[in-house]
Amino acid sequence: MQLCWFRNDLRIQGNPALANALKLGPTCAMYIATPDQWKLHNDAHIKLDFWRRNLAALEQELLQLGVDLLYFEVRDYKQIPELITGILSQLEISHLHYNREYPINELRRDRAVEVVCKDAEVNVSSFDDQLLFSPDSLLNQSGLPFKVFTPFAKKALSLIQDNSRLHTSPTHQQSGIPKKSKITLRRLQYQCELADIEWPDPVSNWEEDWPAGEREASKRLSEFSRQRISTYKHDRDIPGYDSTSKLSPYLNSGILSINDCWRNAQDFFDNSGVESWRGELLWREYYRHIVIHFPHVCMHKAYRDNLGHVPWRHDKTQFDKWCNGETGYPLVDAGMRQLRETGWMHNRLRMITAMFLSKHLLIDWRWGERWFMQNLIDGDLASNNGGWQWSASTGVDAVPYFRIFSPTRQSRRFDSEGAFIRQYLPELAKLSDKAIHEPEDPGQLGYLQPIIEHSFARDRALNAFKAP
């Protein structure tokens, strides 16, 4: 019996682990819930609900292939090797298949599982499903990881000459799980139903805003490519436009393949918008390679070790105001309220709000990194950590420490008519397009005075980052 272990790859099509398992013989699949690990990783309730709904969709798709999806629940990753030892023996598994995950906790988990599989004389096959390139194929001329994005992207593009570089794994049908195994499944100590897993209570609009299933993901990819990708280069920075793909929840949960995204973009490679979107996909790839080659960034540590002198503040009062969208800077507050209300935030606003916390308030960037993970449906360790360390100037190829966004200038540039601000700050809706970016007498409007003055904050940050 082949066993396919689903993690962040909740799809049928183009799934190398599943395809390999089905090619070798009768297959069953499993998903292991780890509630304590989810808490440790600060996974947002909206993201957990998204997983739940996509697992239900995956279960139905697998049944059409004659594959049962089994659910198990343990507290955390440390309990998984013992669980899998029992599964291997009771199901008479000969081969385990899975797609790799790259953060340090996941790597340690998988190494421990490989040990118990070796002891049980069970073969293991793993695949690079979340990457366009294997980690050892994108190195510089010295055989070392790239520390600057531009040469990384240049080499990546040189490796992709045509669509043949990106492979789609076939999906093979099978006749079903043998009856003997189905009887044994009911006796597994850890088996549970999908409904038995302690998922968070859903919010009514989550399913409407983020429908589940790989068919929906493919539909959204197609619609984006045909309708919005051509103007993506310009429009993607304007939060009031519906211009970004909003595919990240599907991509980060593996409901959509990174290869399919790249290939789909290449089908429309006739304008700068496609080139710009491919650049964003390469930034995603870059941060994943950073996590693999520099695992200390997974341990709440800055990539750069020469900034230990920065006196990060831990002001809970100001941090709470930032979290609640109460800083007195309209675009910052609108972005933070969008996050709280929808579980998603426009990418330009992620940079603006992250830099505001780390530079204007000089609050430890790790607090913001954690808050984003606790609220984002597309929260992803590599991309989230990379984005925060870029904004805080602590990361690999990060923004220079002296580059500090003016929230008001950003607001006037990217929300010039105030459309986005009005959507999330209705108390400012009646202000003119000019006044809405820097309201006078905000208290009379039910709004707030700025939490800090921009020039003061900028000078303080510059002095803090200068070497002692």
- CA–CA dist 106, 104 (Å, integer): 5
Would you tell me which CATH number, out of the four given (1.10.579.10, 3.40.640.10, 1.20.1250.20, 2.60.290.11), belongs to the domain 316-465? 1.10.579.10
Q: What order do you get walking across the sheet with 191-192 strand by strand?
A: 123-127, 95-99, 2-6, 27-33, 69-73, 191-192
pTM for the whole thing? 0.93
Q: Which residues contact 29 (CB under 8 A, 6 or more apart)?
A: 3, 4, 5, 6, 18, 62, 67, 68, 69, 70
What is the per-residue pLDDT across 9-66, written as a single tens digit (0 to 9) for each?
Answer: 999 999 999 999 999 999 999 999 999 999 999 999 999 999 999 999 999 999 999 9
Q: Which residues contact 312 (CB under 8 A, 6 or more apart)?
A: 362, 363, 364, 365
Residues of the chain with pLDDT under 70: 161-190, 268-271
Helices (H) and strands (E) in the chain, counts: 21, 6
What pLDDT score was predicted for residue 140?
Answer: 93
What pLDDT score was predicted for residue 405?
Answer: 95
The yes-or-no answer to whether 130-165+215-293 and 316-465 have a common fold is no
Q: Which residues contact 213 (CB under 8 A, 6 or more apart)?
A: 54, 57, 61, 255
What pLDDT score was predicted for residue 345?
Answer: 97
DSSP 397: T
What pLDDT score was predicted for residue 180?
Answer: 39
- CA–CA dist 281, 225 (Å, integer): 14
Closest C-alpha among 338, 302, 300, 340 to residue 320? 340
Q: Are 2 and 97 in contact (CB under 8 A)?
A: yes
Q: What is the CATH number of domain 1-129?
A: 3.40.50.620
φ, ψ at 214 (rounded to 5°): -70, -25
Fold of 130-165+215-293: 1.25.40
Active-site residue set? 280, 283, 312, 347, 365, 388
DSSP 298: G
Q: Nearest-5° angle of CA 370, CA 372, CA 378?
A: 120
Q: Nearest-5° angle of CA 400, CA 234, CA 382?
A: 50
Domain boundaries, the chain: 1-129, 130-165+215-293, 316-465
